[in-house]
Amino acid sequence: MEYFLQQLINGVTLGAIYGLVAIGYTMVYGIIGMINFAHGEIYMIGAFISVISFLVLGAVGITWVPLAVVIVLLVTMLFTAVYGWTIERIAYRPLRGSFRLAPLISAIGMSIFLQNYVQLVQGARVKPVPPVIPQVIVLMERADGFKVAISYLQIIIIVLTIVLMAGFTLIIQHTALGRAQRACEQDMKMAGLLGVDVDRTISQTFVIGAALAGVAGVMVTMYYGVIDFYIGFIAGIKAFTAAVLGGIGSLPGAMLGGLTIGLIEAFWSAYFTVEYKDVATFGILVLVLIFRPTGLLGRPEIEKV
Amino acid sequence: MLRSALRDAALAAMVALLLTMPLIGLRTVESNSRLVVEPHFIDVAVTVALVFLGRLGLTLAGAAKGPAWSVLAAALTVVGSGWLLPFPTQALRWLAVAGGILVGLRALVALRARHGTLTEAERDRRMDRIGARLQDASRLIGPVAVIFALLLPLLPFADRALIDLGILLLTYIMLGWGLNIVVGLAGMLDLGYVAFYAVGAYSYALLAQTFGFGFWLCLPLAGLFASIYGLMLGFPVLRLRGDYFAIVTLAFAEIVRIVLLNWAWFTNGPIGISGIPRPSFFGLAVFAKNPPEGAIAFHKLFGLEFAQIHRIIFLYYIILALSLVVNFFTLRIRRLPLGRAWEALREDEIACTALGINRTTIRLAAFAIAGMFGGFAGAFFATRQGFISPESFSFIESAIILAVVVLGGMGSQVGVVVAALLVVGLPEAFRELAQYRMLAFGAGMVVIMLWRPRGLLAHREPTILMHPRRSACQQQADTEARG
């Protein structure tokens, strides 16, 4: 029971991180119907930028932890947003309305490029980061000394995710940007005819998605304490799985999918084998796509001739 | 105009500054087992300056009545300075040279076209015409290339390195032709082709090590296992469309790799399998100086001096034959109902289903056949390397094979050869730039997609004609006249 509870806490934390990345996939797929294969790399770049900013802040002398974390979050969001914007501008926008597979192939090329770019400029070695927020709260203790604990960091991750999700939902439902996004999602051409700046809306979608992935990158840096240039690939596929599981195009679905994937991964690692945890995730992706391609909360896609 | 160009370039430079500032400008390095940041602001400054110049040059050269001559001169100056001036890193030097050449070419094109810029349609049509001409020429070039490939090991300048490169190229050409059946003909984006390659390689390695089977017995078995894998995979995933299909094949390939990595007692895990036997000369003779008891040495059989290179040349001919088989198969199947159904399905799925084509079985056939060829290539890879490990079958390998198919022009057999020369041959030629290899590869994929979304030599040749055969050039002219 205690063990189960601990895994539940870990799984929810992990799920929050996946969910944030999944939002980027789901929004982009919802609007332009392509898998942004390079999104996982944005998350990886976010992790690197957060490491760099922590080091710079340490060198400058800002060591008060809450302030440092807030600065790192903002800086990372800014830079990953610029990356998101640039990628869309360079690699996807010219291909809009082109041959069906072209954007996906371009995205794969972008992903390979970014991975190797970071490897070249930052080195291939694993980057260790000392824990920033090490405190934990012990919730309960079993007779044999096994403690169920939730760390401050886990609380921060979960709360921050909830806050971001709430803010994001508000943006989608109540602002002009959100309306434009929903309009583009329904019918891009019609939205353009009615005066929505489609290109700009798509750019903004990429910027928001990239900023959220950047936050996920900061979280993963603080949570695991080690990053390397390759983390984006697997995390990207898992987050995509989360987006598909939740129903692609649906925001609550992305979060729900992220949580499910996080929990499955945590429990699989705890009760079965840690080596095959990725197989479990991929297996779920396959099963969902075969038996329920619309996902948990997605709308069915109508095939038009 | 100059003002707006300057503003545009300044914006690009600003974005470049934001992009490069954290990752290039501040490098994390380990010193005394602690991570510290090392500033490299000069690199950032140079990059930003190059981006500014490049963007300015492109805008000015592309503008109507732009100062194309001065842009050309400036671009040449940058290229020259790329050679002469000291640059902080080698990569930036290459960036300067490549960027200068690109801007210079743009200016040249503008000068030649006389009216600012070529429209996209014009550019596409030009490339289509080149593609069509190449298609016509391939009737001639094809046999010549095959004869050249056949004679290559006998030519005086063919040393071991060249033949090794030939083997590598042919392996990718074979894989490209194999994948072309799925991607080019049947129109399904398979991101996990490497899994077939892995199944073939491990089938051969394990059969040879466990039961002592020879290469010639294992080759068909490897193909069989790979195509069984294709069938097993195909049943569930073939109902998916487009992007979903791509992601699921990728997921399956990763599953295969993870299983190979962790199923240690069967596959020897991350250590891999070494000492995989080399192929014999069709079971008649072996390639060894002192053959084991009861076996005949190849050089004795033919009364030659013993030389290591005999085995390499033999391997070369095996892969040449295998890839020609794939090519021949593809060329012929396009004339059969099955091949026609593949191409029809690629063009319009719904119409095909309406005409009574069972799309699942048709696709399954494409998958199984392409898988079989992937399995052959895998078995060859195992016997050539003598060592395999899951490392060799990562996603990046799938991406390279896919790039060979897609960049050349989907469905084009000549395109695959050209793309293999580009993607695999070029990096081998620039060995000293090995660390930039994958960087350039990724960038190249993006650039070629932007430039020619259907691939370099994309020219769709109709498989069925109502009127007698005409050359691709004439067909292209017809299309242009109509459109």
**CB-CB neighbors (< 8 A) of A241 in chain B:** 251
In whole angstroms, give the CA distance from residue B304 to residue B296.
13
Rounded mean pLDDT, B343-369: 86
Percent of chain B with pLDDT over 70: 88
CA distance, residue B269 to nearest chain A CA (Å): 12
Band (pLDDT 50/70/90 cuts) for residue A262 is very high
Are A65 and A133 spatial neighbours (Cβ–Cβ below 8 Å)?
yes
Q: Say whether pLDDT at B150 is over 80.
A: yes
Buried-state track B177-214, b at ≥16 Cβ within 10 A, e below 16? bbbbbbbbbbbbbbbbbbbbbbbbbbbbbbbbeeeebe
Band (pLDDT 50/70/90 cuts) for residue B130 is confident
Percent of chain A with pLDDT over 70: 98
Give the DSSP letter string of B438-457: HHHHHHHHHHHHHH-TT-TT
Rounded mean pLDDT, A151-170: 90
Q: Which of B19, B27, B396 sits opposite A122 (nearest CB)?
A: B27
CA distance, residue A215 to nearest chain B CA (Å): 16
Rounded mean pLDDT, B416-430: 81
Site of tokens 């990718």 = B172
Percent of chain B with pLDDT over 90: 13
Tell me: the pLDDT tens digits for B226-253? Answer: 999 999 888 878 777 777 888 888 888 9
Q: Say whether pLDDT at B459 is over 70.
A: no
Instruction: Note the pLDDT of residue B369.
Output: 93
Residue A50 CA: distances (Å) to CA of A17, A40, B23, B60, B423: 15, 15, 11, 38, 34
Rounded mean pLDDT, B458-466: 60
Instruction: Note the pLDDT of residue A41.
Output: 93
Hey, how many other C-beta atoms are within 10 angstroms of the C-beta on B422? 18
In whole angstroms, give the CA distance from residue B155 to residue B170.
18
CA distance, residue B6 to nearest chain A CA (Å): 19
**CB-CB neighbors (< 8 A) of B191 in chain A:** 108
Tell me: the pLDDT tens digits for B41-53? Answer: 888 888 888 888 8
Band (pLDDT 50/70/90 cuts) for residue B117 is low
Site of tokens 């089938």 = B203
Secondary structure of chain A as H, E, C letters: CHHHHHHHHHHHHHHHHHHHHHHHHHHHHHHHCCCCCCHHHHHHHHHHHHHHHHHHHHHHCCCCHHHHHHHHHHHHHHHHHHHHHHHHHHHHHHHCCCCCCHHHHHHHHHHHHHHHHHHHHHCCCCEECCCCCCCEEEEEECCCCCEEEEEHHHHHHHHHHHHHHHHHHHHHHHCHHHHHHHHHHHCHHHHHHCCCCHHHHHHHHHHHHHHHHHHHHHHHHHHHCEECCCHHHHHHHHHHHHHHHHCCCCHHHHHHHHHHHHHHHHHHHHHCCCCCHHHHHHHHHHHHHHHCCCCCCCCCCCCCC
Interface membership of A230 toward B (CB under 8 Å): no
Band (pLDDT 50/70/90 cuts) for residue B471 is low
The alpha carbon torsion through A184, A187, A188, A190 (nearest 10 deg) reads: -110
Q: pLDDT: is B445 or B61 the higher one?
A: B445
B214's enclosing H/E stretch is none
Find the closest chain A residue to B246 by CA distance. A104
Tell me: the pLDDT tens digits for A72-127? Answer: 999 999 999 999 999 999 889 888 877 777 888 899 899 999 998 998 888 888 88
**Given an 8 Å threshold on Cβ–Cβ distance, is A52 in contact with B28?**
yes
Instruction: Note the pLDDT of residue B483.
Output: 54
Q: Which of B251, B262, B445 sits opposite A105 (nearest CB)?
A: B445
- What is the average pLDDT value for chain B, to the nearest integer? 81
Question: In the A/B pair of chains, how many CB contacts fall below 8 A?
Answer: 173
Tell me: the pLDDT tens digits for A25-84? Answer: 888 888 888 888 899 999 999 999 999 998 888 888 887 888 888 999 999 999 999 999
Instruction: Note the pLDDT of residue B466.
Output: 63
CA distance, residue A13 to nearest chain B CA (Å): 24
Interface membership of B354 toward A (CB under 8 Å): no
**CB-CB neighbors (< 8 A) of A95 in chain B:** 449-450, 453
Instruction: Note the pLDDT of residue A99.
Output: 76
Q: Which of A34, A100, A105 sits opposite B406 (nearest CB)?
A: A105
Instruction: Note the pLDDT of residue B41.
Output: 85
Interface membership of B435 toward A (CB under 8 Å): yes
A-facing residues of B in 11-40 (CB < 8 A) are: 15, 18-19, 21-24, 26-30, 35-37
Q: Say whether pLDDT at B475 is over 80.
A: no
Instruction: Note the pLDDT of residue B470.
Output: 60
Q: Which of B35, B442, B453 sits opposite A55 (nearest CB)?
A: B35
Band (pLDDT 50/70/90 cuts) for residue B116 is very low
In whole angstroms, give the CA distance from residue B437 to residue B85.
24
Instruction: Note the pLDDT of residue B118.
Output: 55
Residue B237 CA: distances (Å) to CA of A106, A291, B234, B366: 23, 11, 5, 13
Q: Say whether pLDDT at A293 is over 80.
A: no
CA distance, residue B255 to nearest chain A CA (Å): 5
Instruction: Note the pLDDT of residue B467.
Output: 64
**Given an 8 Å threshold on Cβ–Cβ distance, is B399 in contact with A95?**
no
Rounded mean pLDDT, B318-335: 90
**Given an 8 Å threshold on Cβ–Cβ distance, is B449 in contact with A105?**
yes
Residue A40: name the closest of A236, A215, A285 by CA: A236
Q: Which of B18, B27, B189 sits opposite A82 (nearest CB)?
A: B18
Are B440 and B402 spatial neighbours (Cβ–Cβ below 8 Å)?
no
Q: What is the DSSP letter of B64?
A: T
Rounded mean pLDDT, A156-173: 90
One-letter amino acid for residue A226 of the chain:
V
Q: pLDDT: is A77 or B57 the higher one?
A: A77
Rounded mean pLDDT, A217-233: 89
Band (pLDDT 50/70/90 cuts) for residue B179 is very high
Listed ranges A83-92, A296-305, B3-12, B68-77; the one with the highest mean pLDDT: A83-92
Q: Which of B259, B350, B446 sits opposite A91 (nearest CB)?
A: B446
Q: Say whether pLDDT at B157 is over 60.
A: yes
